[in-house]
Structure formats: structure tokens, C-alpha cells
Amino acid sequence: MNRILPYFLGILSGILTALSQPLVISYFSEKEIFNTFYAGFISWVSFVPLMFVIRRLEPKKAFVAGLFGGLFYFGIVLYWLDIAMTVFGNMPQYLAIPALLLLVAYCSMYWGIWAYISVYIFKGLGFDISVISPFIFVVLEYLRNYLFTGFPWGNIAYSQYKNIIFIQISVIGGIYLVQYVILVINATVEGWVRYLLVRNEKKPIRYSLFLAGLMIFVYLFGIFRAGYIEGVASKSPKLKVAMLQGNIDQGIKKKSQEYRGSILSNYLDLLERAGESSPELVIWPEAAYPLTLPDEMQSFAKPEGLLGKKLYPFAQIIGVSTYFYEGQKRYLHNGAFVVDKNLNIVAKYNKSHLVPFGEYVPLGIPVEKFVSGIGTFVPGKEIRPVEIEHNGKVIRSGILICYEGIFPEISREHVEKGANLLVNLTNDAWYGISSAPYQHLSMYVFRAVENGRFLARVANTGITAVINPYGKIVSETNIFERTVLSGEVALIEEKTIYVKLGDLFAILSTIFVMAMLILARVIVVRRLER
């Protein structure tokens, strides 16, 4: 085999898979380059080149081919981090590029390990790559969700966020079941490619029959759930919400103390506009309030002027930064205050999963944080929905601040503890005009489906959106637009299979792959001893 071909095919798989994700190049437009619904189908065949070639390689060479694919995939998907670090984080380019390359290389290792283990088990047990590789990919993405605080951005399941019927199976096994089906499709297509191109290869009839049965189930389940969730939502209490997209430039946000008058005036004006739709709940973005407030604060009513000089006939969720002292040291929370119509703070939530190098520096590494502030951000101690009663309705909001929503287990824990509405407060100004706001939004489609909840998402610069429990984006704003988005949500109490079972599919896949890997190792060692 040509020495370069394995790496070329690995790169081809990486590029094709990247094109299936939301992709924006600001030089051309602030919108996605492709219609994402159709672009998502690219991932159904994007792994075929890599699967085709690794079965002919030794494990170490398969690792390199997979690594090359990962480098191009994550390089394209995560390019926007350079914008966040340099334009908005003031990091010099000579530091930003190595940092980005290090993260891309780390994520790419999972692709390399996937190829290595697939071939290792194939060579050791004769267990066909078509069968084992989808499970291995699930396991490695599951690990990427947790290792080193976790960074699951770019999971291939998110390429399907507009393929709504298809993704309903995430209510059974989360994003991991969706990506498993994608890999099975790829494996079956690769089997037919081998049959057409390689002499003595058999038709993949069994895989094709399995895939046919799997896809029939996937789409019948998706159609069934559409009617089911519509019935559940129709019987649930309705709530009018309004979300304030302030569109505050990140440079101004970083100097919020200096610009607090104009920032507050901006949001008070949006509050007035929001009131025109008679909402029952108004939601501000992440850290939207321009002052750092004391953690123990009880009301916005006194001193007067903190929220203007009037009361509002609706409840509010306000993104705030708060501080507290332990001894002489000052600490910060990235949080949210829940405010009633009398401006009293009736509940609080503090972000539990902080952004490494953005809100804290892990392991004491001497690198300046992107977020300016006197003190150190610390995580909240508990994930629990906040509760407020308004107009006789009990609203229990599972608040997801910034990128907390990219971790499926956090949303699930909120709903498991009683949340009847999911709310995401984020900034997203950090990303500029790039793929990131669209990629970020795509993940919340899955959080809505997995948990069977309406999700109200409010972003400082967009994309603000209302997503229903079926994963449909009911309404959304443009990015970098100052506006108010109003809508209606249902407060659903019923818990989904995913809320009850969690990532059981990923856990069972892990046990299966570990057993196969151990067995393959034993057989390989015995062969060497002979």
C-alpha cells in the first residue's frame, strides 16, 4: 500500500466530518456556509475512507492515520478558539497558536486511539471492525466528556441537530447512541465500498440488514415521540418568557464597572420592551448585570436604582457575577439571581463547571486568565434547579451557565432533581463571527430532547433561542443583534428514559469494549509466547 495513502484518507475523513458540523467563515458570511440539515448527512459517510484503510494497517500505523484525521477535524471545528484567545482574551498570537494546537492534538488523540483499538481487537480476535469500531468511538467520546475536566465539544452527534426525527433516540441513550448509529451507517457503507473495490470481499448483507432494522426503529421512534411529546406539552402549564439579547461588546463587558451606566440603561430599556409582550419570566444573559454583587444579597429593591426605579409585573433570572470573602481573600461566582416581581432575590444558582483558563487556572499553571476580575472564580457547590412561584405557576428552572450545557450530565441532574424548564445563560461574544455560536446552539437541541424539556437560551450577542422538547428551534435571533425574543414554553414534569437511566448505553459500551480489549491482549500475548 502507498505509504501516504492511509494518512491522505485519514485527512479526508477529518475534513468531511468537519464539514458536517456548523461552519462559518466570516470572510464570506456570518451565517453557516451550508444548510446544516443536508450537511449533517456528510457524517453518515465521512468515516468511510478511514475505516477502509485502517483494517489494512498495523495498530500503530492505524493510530497515526486516525490522528491525522482528528487533527484536521478538530482544527476546522475549533479554529474559533484563536479568535477567543487573541481578539477577546488579549493573548498574544505566539501563545494562542500553540495553545490551540495543543488542544487540537489532545482531542485528535481520541481518533488515533479509536483506530488503534479497532485494529488491535480486529487483529487479536478477528472481531470485524464494522462491529467493534462504533462501540469504541462511543467509549472514547464518553471519556472525552470527563477526562481532565472534560471537553466534549465537537461530538459528531451534533452534526444532526436539524435532523430532528433522527435524533429522538437521544432520549434513550443520549448523544452516544446517536453517534453509534452514525458509525454503524459508515461501517455498512464501507463494507459495500470494499465489496466493490476489493477482490474476494463478501457483500455486507448481515450489516445491511442490521442497519435497515436499526434505521426503521430510529425513524418510527422519532415519529412516535413527536406525537407523544406534543400531547405531554399540551397538557402542561404554559409560561410566557422574554429573553434580553443586550449585544454588549466584549471589550465593554470587560470594563463593565467603567461602563455600568450605559450597560444598565441598555438592559432597562430592553426590560421595557420585553414588558410589551406581557411575559411572566424575563431572562438576562450570563453576567449581564454590570456590577459585581455580594453573594449574600437579598434584594434589588434597596438601595434603589439597582434595577431602575420601578417594579415589574414579572419574575426575572439575571446573570450576575458575585463575590464573597474567606478571611482576607476575595472569591467570585459566575451565577444567576432569581428575582420576584417585588425585586426580592428568591433563589440563586452558581455555575458548577467552570471554564479552564477562562474562569480559573488549573493546577496553578502560570497563565493569565481570559476573564478579568479581582479574585478567583470558584464553582458552585450544588447542581439544583432554582424555584419561583409566579401567577400560581411553580417554575423550577435548571440553569446552565455558559458551556455547562455541553455536558449532558449537568442538564440531566437538574431535571432529575425536578427542573420543569431548562434555561441557558451565555455570553458567546468571545467567539466573534465564527462557527462557535452555531455549534454551541446545536448542543442545546440535544439537551432539550434528552430531558424532554423546553429550553430557553439567552445569549449576550446571540444566538438566543427557544427550543421545544422535540428539538425544534421554535424561534431564534441573529448574532450581534440587540433585541428581545419572546415566546411560550410548557412546564413539563414527566421524566424521560434518559433522565432515569443516564448514559447507560455508553457505560455498557465501555464494559463491552474493555472486555474485548482484555481478551484481545490475552490472545496476542499467548501468540507471542508460542
| pLDDT tens figures, 27-66 | 777 788 877 788 999 999 999 999 999 998 999 999 999 9
* Residue 240 pLDDT greater than 60, yes or no: yes
Task: Note whether 341 and 377 are same-domain residues.
Answer: yes
Task: Note whether 347 and 213 are same-domain residues.
Answer: no
Task: Note whether 314 and 441 are same-domain residues.
Answer: yes
Task: Note whether 173 and 266 are same-domain residues.
Answer: no
* Residue 374 pLDDT greater than 80, yes or no: no
Task: Note whether 164 and 27 are same-domain residues.
Answer: yes
Sequence-distant (≥ 6) Cβ neighbours of residue 485 within 8 angstroms: 242, 243, 245, 458, 464, 465, 466, 475, 476, 477
Report the catalytic residues.
286, 351, 402
99: pLDDT confidence band, cut at 50, 70 and 90? confident
Give how far the C-alpha of residue 370 lies from the chain's centroid of Cα atoms, to the nearest Å: 21
Task: Note whether 486 and 525 are same-domain residues.
Answer: no
Range scoring the smallest mean pLDDT among 118-132, 138-152, 436-450: 118-132
3-class SS of residue 151:
coil
Mark 74-89 as b/e (b = at least 16 C-beta within 10 Å): bbbbbbbbbbbbbebb
User: Do residues 289 and 320 touch, judged by C-beta distance below 8 A?
Assistant: yes
Q: Which three cell numbers stand for residue 190?
A: 464501507
Task: Note whether 197 and 267 are same-domain residues.
Answer: no
Give how far the C-alpha of residue 181 lies from the chain's centroid of Cα atoms, to the nearest Å: 19
* Bond before 303 cis per omega within 30 degrees: yes
Whole-number pLDDT of residue 370 = 54
Task: Note whether 225 and 369 are same-domain residues.
Answer: no
CATH number of the domain encompassing residue 245: 3.60.110.10
Task: Note whether 412 and 522 are same-domain residues.
Answer: no
* pTM for the structure as a whole: 0.93
Of 111, 103, 122, whose CA–CA distance to 179 is shortest? 111
Task: Note whether 192 and 262 are same-domain residues.
Answer: no
User: Do residues 341 and 314 touch, judged by C-beta distance below 8 A?
Assistant: yes
Whole-number pLDDT of residue 357 = 66
CA distance 23 to 32: 5
Domain coverage including residue 179:
5-232+503-529
Whole-number pLDDT of residue 190 = 95
Range scoring the smallest mean pLDDT among 136-140, 311-315, 352-356, 473-477: 352-356
Task: Note whether 67 and 175 are same-domain residues.
Answer: yes
329: pLDDT confidence band, cut at 50, 70 and 90? confident
Say how many domains are in the chain: 2
- Residue written as cell 431548562? 422
3-class SS of residue 369:
coil
CA distance 349 to 295: 10
User: Do residues 173 and 498 touch, judged by C-beta distance below 8 A?
Assistant: yes
- Mean pLDDT on 132-143: 96
Whole-number pLDDT of residue 365 = 54
Whole-number pLDDT of residue 362 = 60
Whole-number pLDDT of residue 373 = 45
Task: Note whether 311 and 193 are same-domain residues.
Answer: no
